[in-house]
Chain A
């Protein structure tokens, strides 16, 4: 620690000060270890926002209420004790099974690729899609506007491409402010509308449910070992 302090500065310090400094340094070193630990824990907790995005509430300020959000999260965890929801992202290939009164056997299973994940709380949803009649995967973005190579010329009129270039906003993806918040300045009044939940609140929310989620993960792993593969019966 002392090596960092300039020589001149140390020599000028009186003896008692030196002792104090040494003591403080020993304390600070132990503190730094705990700090590192808490920082690691914090980072782990913040990782949850990618794994469980639906636990974060709607950032729209008008719809927020702390008690409602707490009750909603409790219900979500209660539901997760009964169904097995693995970690998944947009692009994951997975199967969804559900009970359906209208299918023979009252059981429905769908295998597909996740193309969308949205909503929050109990209203969270995702979209699965698989190949239907040998169609390619759906196009969700207008690729011709992204200046991609290898796009087949569709023989569209010149006007179409000109218009596409006019409407293109290539800078938008670098606009972090747009992602984070919108600020209106109205003659000395500043109104801030957040589009995301702030980091402090995220840690608060996830540290509250972390222990429960970890328990669920452990039980899921145990169940995974126990589960036996049952070959599906061909129907009709």
Chain B
């Protein structure tokens, strides 16, 4: 009996709850109409080169006859069932020079943890997992039309490699890397963590954490004002934003509250301290790499002139197999291997 009774009670409760929600939703939609808050102009959308716009036809679907459908199928098969055009033979004996530009890779930021130098000092590192990168397409310099046009007279037009990773939304998992035709790779080439070498420097591009609308203390690191001593209503405010007289206006670029994060930033000149060839992970110095854990980042050789590699790089990419000859973990000389004996300082 008790069971039945409780069942009824719970049913009643659910019903009353549902009613409550209904009334809530009705009243909410009727009274609360808020103004849309506009946050400045939206960033201009640059569609990727592989993007084709959908053709919208207003014709009814019933108008498509079975013959038409068959014809469309035939056309599609004609276009896409072609064998892949024969690629030019890959030239692997190109000597790398500092002027040559290699492709980058698509990676995932998987976390931060410390490594130790062989002198006992600790350093924070970020782990970047190189995803299943494949070359999808190569645009020759003649056919490549970059979305950002280069200024001036161009003597050496660049080609472009299109990479893809993970069988998911291509707008998230594809990336174009421009370079001179020497760096071209055949379709389907796999890029692994061996593309990079320990001790070299890379740049990492990622989308910063979206923090929403923030005040000046969080957004620009202002100091704010004291908590007490007669201060009222101005504890986290920016304070004065301009002078008087001739400069009596708000100058462009004044640091003020606004939207913070959710934009692409590049962390430059990060040293590769360790590579795991089994899981394709790079340990990169520093912990301030844009983006949250498990977000997609793009890793490429650094553009900083003083951190160019001294030893020749595998060009256009590392093409050997990853087998037993290659160790699972490759450490930089400066890093203390975890399975090595404890550091002991010599007495002078």
Residues of B within 8 A of A62 (CB): 292-293
CB–CB A82/B340 < 8 A: yes
Bound-complex Cα distance A62 to B293 (A): 7
Q: Would you call B16 an interface residue if the criterion is a C-beta within 8 Å of the partner chain's C-beta atoms?
A: no
Question: Is B251 an interface residue, CB under 8 A from the partner?
Answer: no
Query: With A62-B293, A65-B111, A67-B129 known to touch, is A105 a contact of B347 (CB < 8 Å)?
Result: yes
Q: Say whether A101 contacts B21, CB under 8 Å.
A: no
Contact B120 A99 (CB under 8 A): yes
How many chain A residues touch B (CB < 8 A): the figure is 25
Q: Closest residue of chain A to B338, judged by CB?
A: A78
- Asked whether any CB of chain B lies closer than 8 Å to the CB of A122, the reply is yes
Question: Shortest CB–CB separation between residue A151 and chain B, in angstroms?
Answer: 32
The interface bits of chain A over 49-74 (1 if a CB of B lies within 8 angstroms of the residue's CB, else 0) are 00000000000001111011011100
Distance, CA A101 to CA B119, complexed state (A): 10
Q: A65-B294, A67-B129, A71-B281 are in contact. Are A123 and B114 (CB under 8 A)?
A: yes
Question: Smallest CB–CB gap between A85 and chain B, Å?
Answer: 12
One digit per residue, 1 when the CB lies within 8 angstroms of any chain B CB and 0 when it does not, for chain A 80-91 equals 011100000000
Q: Please give, as numbers and ranges, the residues of chain B lying within 8 Å of A31 by CB-CB distance.
A: none
Q: Is A71 within 8 A of B114, CB to CB? A: no
Question: Whole-angstrom distance between the alpha carbons of A122 and B338 in the complex?
Answer: 11
In the docked arrangement, what's the CA distance between A183 and B276, Å? 38
Cα-based distance from A72 to B112 in the complex (angstroms)? 10
Nearest chain B CB to A213 CB, angstrom units: 16
A187: which of B21, B343, B347 is its contact (CB, 8 Å)? B21
Q: Is A75 an interface residue (CB 8 A)?
A: yes
**Within the complex, what minimum Cβ distance (angstroms) separates A67 from chain B?**
5
Give B347's nearest chain A residue, CB to CB: A106
Q: Is residue B213 within 8 Å, beta carbon to beta carbon, of the partner chain?
A: no
In the complex, what distance in Å separates the CA atom of A81 from the CA atom of B294? 31
Q: Among A75, A100, A121, which residue has its beta carbon within 8 angstroms of that of B338?
A: A75
Instruction: Let me know if A122 and B344 touch, CB within 8 A.
Output: no
Within 8 A of B (CB), among A111-160: 121-123
Is A178 positioned at the interface, with any CB of B under 8 Å from its CB? no
A9-32 near B? 1/0 per residue, CB < 8 Å: 000000000000000000000000
Do A122 and B339 form a contact, CB below 8 Å, given A68-B127, A106-B344?
A: no
B292 touches A122 (CB 8 A): no
Measured CA separation A75–B341 after assembly (Å) = 13
Inter-chain contact B344/A67, CB cutoff 8 Å: no
A63's closest neighbor in chain B, by CB? B293
Q: Report if B72 contacts A (CB, 8 A).
A: no
Chain A hits for B347, CB < 8 A: 105-106
Which residues of the other chain, B, contact A68 by a CB distance below 8 angstroms? 110-111, 113, 127
B120–A101 CB distance below 8 A:
yes
Cβ contacts under 8 Å, B346 to chain A: 106
CA distance A70 to B279 in the complex (A): 10
Query: Is A43 among interface residues, defined by CB-CB distance under 8 A?
Result: no
Do A99 and B113 touch (CB < 8 A)? Answer: no
B257 CB to nearest A CB, Å: 25
Chain B residues near A101: list those with CB within 8 A.
120, 345
Distance (Å) between the CB of B340 and the closest chain A CB? 7
| Residue from B111, B114, B292 having most chain A Cβ neighbours under 10 A | B111
Neighbouring B residues of A121 by C-beta, 8 Å: 113
**Cα–Cα, bound, A100→B343 (Å):** 10
Q: In the complex, A188 Cα to B22 Cα: how many Å?
A: 12
Q: Is B342 an interface residue (CB 8 A)?
A: yes
- A65 CB contact (under 8 Å) in B21, B110, B337, B340: B110
Does A36 make an interface contact (CB < 8 A)?
no
**A212 on interface, CB distance cutoff 8 Å:** no
B-side residues, CB < 8 A to A, are 21, 24, 110-111, 113-114, 120, 127, 129, 276, 279, 281, 292-294, 337-347
* A-B pairs with beta carbons under 8 Å apart, 13 shown: A65-B294, A67-B279, A67-B281, A75-B338, A79-B338, A81-B339, A99-B342, A99-B344, A101-B120, A106-B345, A106-B347, A122-B114, A123-B114
- The 6 lowest CB-CB distance pairs between A and B, nearest first, are A68-B111, A78-B338, A106-B345, A78-B339, A65-B110, A68-B110
